[in-house]
Amino acid sequence: MVTDSKQPAAERIETGTLVVDGVEVFFRRTAGDGPPAVFVHGNPSHSEDWVPFIEGLSRPALAFDLPGWGHSGRPSDFDYSMRGLASFFELALGAFGVEQHSLVVHDWGSLALIAAQRAPERVDRLVVITAVPLLPGYRWHRVARLWRTPGVGEAVNASMTRRTFSLGLRESRADWAPQDDDFIDGIWSTIDRGTKRALLELYRSADPDELAAAGADLALLKCPALVVWGDQDRYLPPSFGRAYAERLPGAELATYAAGHWPWQEAPEMIDRVVDFLERS
């Protein structure tokens, strides 16, 4: 393991890399007493999404970049399907020495819920934030449909520039405003051919029926749960926030006037999530 550290505004966050099953994994974590809160990012971002949440916690926390994204490795022979990444997530928890934990997922971070259903007793609290629905009835949004189409998805990725990437992400905000330049640069600087290959494999592994099957045992997650949704998310309609809250036995639902990264437009959401995680 290689580590370094930085001192953020509220709390020291250690960063470094750990080799898990032959893949170099970039991580951010904080020390503390008790089970950690584990944060899982989606596409196209990475673990930096979680910094404001981690800074607010007094309990330990762990966030790492999934293979193919952020600063983690991109092996050409890796299984980037949703079930392949879910299995890798389980291996990574073991490599980091994580047993009992809370779990926070956003967007494609829901692949960690596939793993959680296999050992629900290890999850003491769960936060689901505008996450890909492992539920019946979901139909992919416009950009995902392009990625899922052979040939078309490759052409979309080949033509992507920082400008078109930035313009496309306006759709992620409730008000269609430009995303902050630092946010765009933080993601764009990590996107390469490996990321583009990984995201195509991930989306193409997730037919609607496969998504529903992957969440068949969500009701086994009986821990306290908080489902948070941006009520103007154009990728993942808020009806699926309600559906997650109905499927998870211990869930409460919170909605905000926001888009796909709801904490950007409703920063008070961060305190809501931190307070929920601290109760354990």
95: domain CATH number? 3.40.50.1820
SS3 65: coil
Residues 6+ apart with CB under 8 A from 132: 42, 107, 108, 110, 111, 138, 206, 211, 236
DSSP-derived 3-state class of residue 67: coil
Q: Which residues of the chain have pLDDT under 50?
A: 1-10
pLDDT tens-digit readout, 74-122: 999 999 999 999 999 999 999 999 999 999 999 999 999 999 999 999 9
Tell me, what's the pLDDT at 6? Answer: 43
User: Do the strands 101-107 and 123-131 form a parallel or antiparallel pair, or are they unpaired?
Assistant: parallel
Q: Which domain holds residue 197?
A: 2-278
Helices (H) and strands (E) in the chain — how many of each?
A: 12, 9
Domain count, the chain: 1
Q: Count of CB atoms within 10 A of residue 149's CB?
A: 15
What does R_g of the chain's alpha carbons equal in angstroms?
17
Beta-bridged to residue 252, according to DSSP, are 226
Cβ atoms of 102 and 37 closer than 8 Å: yes
Report the pLDDT value the prediction gives residue 25, as an integer from 0 to 100. Answer: 98
CA 87, chain centre distance (Å): 15
For residue 88, give the H/E element and its range.
Answer: helix 82-95
As a residue count, the chain comes to 280
Tokens 């990321």 -> residue:
195
pLDDT of residue 149: 98
* Strands of 23-30's sheet in order across: 2-6, 13-20, 23-30, 61-64, 37-40, 101-107, 123-131, 225-230, 251-256
The pLDDT assigned to 10 comes to 46
Q: What pLDDT score does 2 carry?
A: 44
pTM above 0.75, yes or no: yes
pLDDT at position 12, please? 83
| Residue pair 223/125 in contact by the 8 Å Cβ criterion | yes
Q: Would you state the pLDDT for residue 8?
A: 44
Task: Find, among 75, 80, 77, 46, the residue nearest to 63 by Cα.
Answer: 46
